[in-house]
Structure 1
Amino acid sequence: MSDPAEIGILLYPRAQLAAIHGLTDLFQVASRLAAGGEAEARPALRVSHWQEGPDSGAIERVFDTHPGWPGRPGILILPPSLGAPITPEAAAAPARWLSARQAEGATLCSVCAGAFLLAETGLLAGRTATTHWTYTETLARRFPDVRVDTDRLVIDDGDLITAGGLMAWTDLGLKLVDRLMGPTVMLKTARFLLVDPPGREQRYYSSFAPPLQHGDQPILKAQHWLQATGARDVSLAAMAGRAGLEERTFLRRFRKATGLKPTEYCQQLRVGKAREMLELTSRTIDQVAWDVGYEDAGAFRKVFQKVMGLTPGEYRSRFGTARGKTIRD
């Protein structure tokens, strides 16, 4: 029987306790619901809290719903802060620790001002991230290489997830439950907690969750590169070179680690970006195709329908939220 998925929450200076305890409760509710109420059932989720030691400076586990069990978090959450964003000095030790965990395959998530600590790792460089709307200019000024989009409540970029305002921890929590245990358990959790998850019951909202904890470091390095570049203008030779492997070896190890061919993996990443544009902008489908790396809009339509089960136009009709809003180049 597999071990439960572990979600860690980092208690950095001035982190919001309500979010820390709320997320802990949300995940434990989801775990109990997934077990069907069976008291002796093996938990689906394990929750741990991590904090910098007052003397050692090392990041230590200070709370665990299942103490003594082996393993480490596959997902780490940086909760909101009720104070000013964390300073670079205070962020130094946890940022190094977070970077090391991400390099091992952990998915890093932030809520509200937690984005400042996530950005201190350098991992958000070239990525799009959200935070509380009042921090828009502050985050953009402090980290000019991060694309800040605070019109978005949650931005799921596969290995990095950022959520907006103080209470967006509920949205992030439900998204993670959906990712780890599926929409049925997510909906049960939302109903139990009386939290409304609009649209989450549709299978089309499920995001591609790239497998990152396979232990193959060269392949993981290539995955992080693909995520950061949006898999645009990539070739097998470029991917293999990024991994430092011969092409045939790369193909074999990539398929073993991710369960997908590199072309299929890149399609998933591109379709994920396209879904965001179709939902949130009024760009034409041809423009969307070009923006995500397809010179042939017809080929893009075929790939999108293959992955999503809907044409791009059908997807936009169902889930588009833009009303005359066009993003210009």
Structure 2
Amino acid sequence: MGIERAVAELGVLIYPGAQMAAVHGLTDLFGVANRIAAEHQSAQLPLLRVSHWQADAEHAPKRIYDSHPAPDGALIALLIPPSIGGFSEGQAPPALIRWIRQQHAAGATLGGVCVGSILLAESGLLDGRSATTHWTSAKKFAERYPKITLNADKPIVDDGDLITTAGLMAWSELGLRLVDRLLGPSIATSTARFLVIEHSDSASECGSNFAPILGHGDAAILKVQHWLQANGAVEVSLSVMSQQAGLEERTFLRRFRAATGLKPTEYCQHLRVGKAREMLEFTNGTIDHIAWSVGYSDPSAFRVTFKKITGLTPSDYRARFGVTAPARTL
């Protein structure tokens, strides 16, 4: 008798002009990850179910393929592949935009590859957040979506529930990022090795990037999670979070921990450290400035929390994973 495993469904969107190589490549990548995970014979590892969703000009996308036919369930993630021909701003059908927003509101992580990030921008979900896109689209992207912090020089921006990538072939790294979240870094690394593709994410060497649980079904808590992700969990308090949820503080605490597996303070620490990791990798700001930017008035407390979560001090982390030289301090 086989081991009964939970199912995690990953949707791949097919829209007019979508790069089918990415659609089928992601499907194969998750299939390889499933096979490697099965070798571990662990009921704790979910089965990755891949579904394809066909979009047209007038209707919400329809499911046209399942790698493992099963009763319909909520998507854990929705991936939007690139378009070789280029996807123009303002061309997204309203029904498709509504459907994308619905998947996010239901707890799905959204991932946009290259110009696929334009669909996420059109949805408004990236407003007030950081994102990246293909360099050929960067100028128009920045002009059309001024509420989005565009980091076009970054290959991937992982903002927890919203992930964007800059390269046409970056669908492989996005797929591996989700394998890392759902099956663990060792299986992600083994999948990359089997497919002979690069997987240089710092998460595989220094603890996984924080992957919040979003598919728990508690709408009030999910609302707070999206709010925290958008503001970086800076200058928040239990009372403010409770108000966002519309719950009494004691009820909020109980439901938040039941839904996310973490206390609100722990959850906020993970979000802040995630932001700090990105700044340490891609900017040359001082560590004290980064601590302040992510919500810590005491740099010493930031250093302690950072090492507790990542296993490295901020300076060691930058030395290992930073792509720019550290700023000189006087």
TM-score by length of 1: 0.93
The answer for the alignment partner of 1:12 in structure 2 is 15
> How many angstroms does 1:183 deviate by?
1.3
Whether 1:163 and 2:165 are equivalent positions in the alignment is yes
Give the Cα–Cα distance (whole angstroms) in 1 for the partners of residues 149 and 294 of structure 2.
16
Q: From 106, 109, 112, give the equivalent of 2:108.
A: 106
> How many angstroms does 1:37 deviate by?
9.4
296 and 173 in structure 1: CA distance in 2 versus 1, 3 angstrom threshold: same
Q: For 1:298-317, what aligned pairs fall within 5 Å after superposition?
A: 298-317=300-319
CA contact (8 A) 2:12 2:80 kept: yes
**Cα RMSD (Å) of the superposition?**
1.9
Give the Cα–Cα distance (whole angstroms) in 1 for the partners of residues 56 and 204 of structure 2.
43
Report the secondary structure of 1:134's partner residue: helix
CA contact (8 A) 2:5 2:46 kept: no
Report the secondary structure of 2:54's partner residue: strand
Give the Cα–Cα distance (whole angstroms) in 1 for the partners of residues 102 and 305 of structure 2.
35
> How many angstroms does 1:46 deviate by?
0.8
Q: For 1:1-329, what aligned pairs fall within 5 Å after superposition?
A: 1-36=4-39, 44-52=47-55, 57-198=59-200, 202-323=204-325
CA contact (8 A) 2:9 2:51 kept: yes
Report the secondary structure of 2:206's partner residue: helix
CA contact (8 A) 1:183 1:200 kept: no
> How many angstroms does 1:30 deviate by?
1.0
> How many angstroms does 1:324 deviate by?
5.6
> How many angstroms does 1:90 deviate by?
3.0
- Unaligned runs of 5+ residues in structure 2 are none
Task: State the aligned residue count.
Answer: 322
Report the secondary structure of 2:50's partner residue: strand
TM-score by length of 2: 0.92
271 and 37 in structure 1: CA distance in 2 versus 1, 3 angstrom threshold: closer
- Unaligned runs of 5+ residues in structure 1 are none
CA contact (8 A) 1:240 1:250 kept: yes
Match of 1:29, as an amino acid? Answer: V
CA contact (8 A) 1:35 1:43 kept: no
Give the Cα–Cα distance (whole angstroms) in 1 for the partners of residues 207 and 22 of structure 2.
24
Report the secondary structure of 1:242's partner residue: helix
How many percent identity over aligned positions?
56
Report the secondary structure of 1:76's partner residue: strand
Displaced runs of 4 or more, over 3 A: 199-203
Give the Cα–Cα distance (whole angstroms) in 1 for the partners of residues 291 and 255 of structure 2.
29
Report the secondary structure of 1:35's partner residue: helix
CA contact (8 A) 1:199 1:205 kept: no
Report the secondary structure of 1:90's partner residue: coil
> How many angstroms does 1:226 deviate by?
0.2
Task: Spell out, residue by residue over 1:233-278, the C-alpha distance to the aligned partner (whole angstroms, 9 max, x if none).
Answer: 1111111111111111111111111111111100000000011111
